[in-house]
Structure 1
Amino acid sequence: MFSLGLVIAILFFIAGMAGIFLPILPGAPLIVLGMVAYGLIEGFTNLTWQFFLGQLILMAFVFGIDYLAGMWGVRRYGGSNTAVWGSVIGALVGLFILGPLGIILGPFLGAVGGELIAKGNLQLAVRAGMGTLLGFLGGALLKLILQILMIIWFFSTIY
């Protein structure tokens, strides 16, 4: 049965899942916020502090993946610290200049630019950029899995 609390929670879950590919949306926090909204409306029946502690731990893992996946990709493919910083700056700038396409192109171009500055070798720079893309895609997959687990846990707890 759908209640107002459940409808609101589901809307937050949808926005949270969109946050996997749109970094402007805080994915996992939106999912947790949906659970809190449900709890407030429905009186926190079945949603214990242990449930929320577990959800916060999963949310922390999602944040960790966000920060580490791109760095891992750059490092795995031989990129320097400058390439890592370039990918971070590229992600922010790319999102604002290129919109959704900038989420992918920004970190790639930033890593390439950073590596060119650091080592001046185009082949190494492109390789670092590819590492950023692979890190982003791998991280997105891991975030997708964790956020789906968060939502499944919610539904298995309330039903």
Structure 2
Amino acid sequence: MEVTLLWILCAALIVAGLAGTVLPVLPGTVLVWAGIVLGAWIDDFQRVGTTTLVVVTVLAALAWVLDYVAGLLGARRAGASRQALVGAAIGTVAGLFMGVVGVLFMPLVGAALGEYLAQKDQHRAVRVGVATWLGIMLGLLAKVVLAFIMVGLFVAALLI
């Protein structure tokens, strides 16, 4: 019975982590990683061994880095000001309280508003806002893909 509960916890961590790759409130890839490590431990690392865990850990770290760097790279590429970066961060936090639409679009609004306040140029503000948003969305997509690769490697290791 205890092992069954541990496997349920393992699955719950992975599912919560997959949800967290899209919802910034949850540390997505960290939860997926924790579920995988728990699953490996439950099985005494017999089927999910060191190599798989190292690869999954590297993928989790890469996803975490991409999550934070992608939006900044998009903003920097568009020549965003410091105020635009602060605006994107504030927009991200504000978006948490507005559901999925807020999470997806408030960073764009925050970056554009921050850039407008800094430069007083509406066209530049829109360009910076869109570039920041595209960076964030590409980072999100990469994080989701990496999380599913992590889960795929775990399931393959369990089944093979």
Q: TM-score range by the shorter chain?
A: 0.7 to 0.9
Q: Distance in 2 between matches of 1:135 and 1:9?
A: 31
Give 1:45's aligned residue.
Answer: 46
| Matched ranges for 1:53-92 at <5 A | 53-92=54-93
Establish whether residue 150 from structure 1 lines up as the match of residue 150 from structure 2.
yes
- How do 1:1-159 residues align onto structure 2 when only pairs under 5 Å count? 4=4, 5-96=6-97, 98-159=98-159
Displacement of 1:6 in angstroms is 4.2
> Per-residue displacement from partner, 1:28-86 (whole Å, max 9, x unpaired)?
11111111222333323223333322222111101111111111222233322321221
- Give the Cα separation in 2 of the matches to 1:72 and 1:62: 15
Do 1:78 and 1:124's aligned partners in 2 also have CA atoms closer than 8 Å?
A: no
Q: Which moved more, 1:71-80 or 1:52-61?
A: 71-80
Q: Are 1:107 and 1:132, in contact at CA under 8 Å, matched by a contact in 2? A: yes
Say whether the 8 Å CA contact 1:29–1:59 is kept in structure 2. Answer: yes
Residues in 1 aligned to 2:74 and 2:20: alpha-carbon distance in whole angstroms: 20
TM-score normalised by the chain length of structure 1: 0.87
Instruction: After superposing the two structures, state which structure 1 stretch, 6-15 or 19-28, moved more.
Output: 6-15
Number of residues of Structure 1 aligned to a counterpart in Structure 2: 156
Deviates most, 76-85 or 30-39 = 76-85
Alignment partners' CA distance in 2, 1:39 and 1:149: 16
Q: Which is worse superposed, 60-69 or 43-52?
A: 43-52
Taking the aligned partners of 1:65 and 1:36, their CA distance within structure 2 comes to 22
The CA distance in 2 between the partners of 1:7 and 1:112, in whole Å, is 44
Q: Distance in 2 between matches of 1:56 and 1:88?
A: 27
5+ long unaligned stretches in structure 1: none
Alpha-carbon distance in 2 for matches of 1:139, 1:63: 9
- Residues 73-122 of structure 1, C-alpha deviation per residue, up to 9 Å, x if partnerless? 222333223212211121012213x2332212221121012101221111
TM-score (norm 2): 0.86
